[in-house]
């Protein structure tokens, strides 16, 4: 059973990862020729809700949070670059 602090962390991270998944889906749906690497990252980030649910320690949260942040920064950068090019 998760502590109340980890429960809150889990819920926040869970919602955040779905926002990031939405950004990847938007990119894939709105780009005429999406990069294969973005497709691969999308498939990987879609596995993160399960990882978050199974997460039960501060160490695991400490590993997940920066990785999820990196996914977010990456898709934001790609999306911004795509808008500038278009």
* Rounded CA separation 22/1 (Å): 29
Please give the mean pLDDT across all residues of the chain: 90
pLDDT band at 75 (very low <50, low <70, confident <90, very high): very high
Q: Global pTM?
A: 0.88
Greatest mean pLDDT among 31-40, 43-52, 77-86: 43-52
For residue 2, what pLDDT is reported?
61
Distances (CA, A) of 42 to 3, 5, 33, 52, 59: 30, 28, 15, 16, 24
Q: Which of 57 and 75 is assigned the larger pLDDT? A: 75
């Amino acid at each position: 059973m998760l502590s109340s602090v980890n429960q809150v962390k889990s819920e926040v991270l869970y919602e955040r990862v779905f926002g990031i998944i939405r950004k990847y889906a938007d990119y894939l749906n709105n780009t005429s020729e999406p990069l294969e690497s973005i497709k691969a990252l999308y498939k990987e980030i879609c596995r993160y809700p399960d990882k978050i649910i199974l997460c039960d320690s501060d160490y695991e949260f400490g590993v997940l949070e920066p990785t999820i942040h990196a996914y977010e920064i990456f898709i934001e950068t790609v999306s911004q670059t795509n808008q500038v090019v278009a």
